[in-house]
Amino acid sequence: MSDFPGEERPRFEESPLTRNEYIQAMVHFYRGEMNRSNVWRQRLDNTTNWAVVTSAAIITFSFSEPFQTHLLLVVCNFLILGYLFIEARRFRYFSVYRARVRMLEENFILPIVTRNLVSPKPDWREFVAMDLDVPKFKSTLIESLALRVRYNYFWIFSTLFLAWLLKVWLHPEPSLSFAAFYAHMAAPPLPGWAVLGVAGSFYLVMTVLFLQAGRVPATSEDEVHGYEADRSHWKL
């Protein structure tokens, strides 16, 4: 009902938007989605930073004394794996907002900049509208894990792997043969073969994820660009 007797409440939904109103609404929408994308981008960076700091701290501590167990470096891999899962989850949310931003940039901002008011994707508004209605992740958890391993965590895990080998080789005393090196892998109460099996299995899985990243559809080195171009990632 209207607040004033005898007056009918205006129904704005039935009034068409003017060109200026439409442009203003899209600009505010673009700014909002860009802000949300940046927030999740910062969360991704924070997770990576914590993974780097944790790895550096444990590597430094493990090499501080010759008799510090090398098992710390093996356990550190699983701590970093926890960060990896957190970052993959955050990446999935980031890709949702980033895909919308890219869709707007390609089909709304680009035509204005080029003064060619024809969008590359004529039906882009339907895709954005449906994604607002029922948001959909643009990548699976496995794809997100693979991409984060390829672009960030490959270097962290590689550093831990080399540090572990160096620790086993040098401490508690330098190994002069492969037999001595293998003997150093034992970390009581765990025998050497158990430690080697756990570490080897872990790095094998990380290698598979790294190779899996090469199968994720993308059109450039940007780990996000390309998802929004694939119509299967947009709800119809």
Task: Encode pLDDT of 41-87 as tens digits.
Answer: 999 999 999 999 999 999 999 988 888 888 899 999 999 999 999 99
Distance between CA 188 and CA 210 in Å, rounded? 32
Structural domains of the chain, count: 1
Instruction: Pick the closest to residue 80 from 165, 3, 154 (CA basis).
Output: 154
Is 5 domain-assigned? Answer: no
Distance between CA 128 and CA 110 in Å, rounded? 16
More confident position, 12 or 170: 170
Is 146 domain-assigned? Answer: yes
Is 155 domain-assigned? Answer: yes
Is 28 domain-assigned? Answer: yes
Is 126 domain-assigned? Answer: yes
Is 123 domain-assigned? Answer: yes
Q: Is the pTM of this model over 0.75?
A: yes
Task: Encode pLDDT of 112-170 as tens digits.
Answer: 888 887 888 888 888 899 988 988 898 889 889 988 998 889 999 999 999 999 988 88
Residue 160 CB burial class (10 angstroms; 0-12, 13-18, ≥19): buried
pLDDT (0 to 100) of residue 151: 87
Domain range for 112: 12-233
Task: Encode pLDDT of 94-111 as tens digits.
Answer: 999 999 999 999 898 888
